Amino acid sequence: EETTKDKDEL
């Protein structure tokens, strides 16, 4: 399963 990046992480 491809998970996309988390935009919250810095």
Partner 1 sequence: MNIFRLTGDLSHLAAIIILLLKIWKSRSCAGISGKSQILFALVFTTRYLDLFTSFISLYNTCMKLIYIGCAYATVYLIYAKFRATYDGNHDSFRVEFLVVPVGGLSVLINHDFSPLEILWTFSIYLESVAILPQLFMISKTGEAETITTHYLFCLGLYRALYLFNWIWRFYFEGFFDMIAIVAGVVQTVLYCDFFYLYVTKVLKGKKLSLPA
Identity of residue 2:
E
- The residue assigned the tokens 């491809």 is 2
Least distance between partner 1 and beta carbon 1 (Å): 9
C-alpha 9: how far from its chain's center? 8
Binding mask 1-10 toward partner 1 (x if CB under 8 A, else -) reads -xxxxxxxxx
Least distance between partner 1 and beta carbon 8 (Å): 5
Least distance between partner 1 and beta carbon 2 (Å): 8
- Give the footprint of partner 1 on this chain (CB under 8 A): 2-10
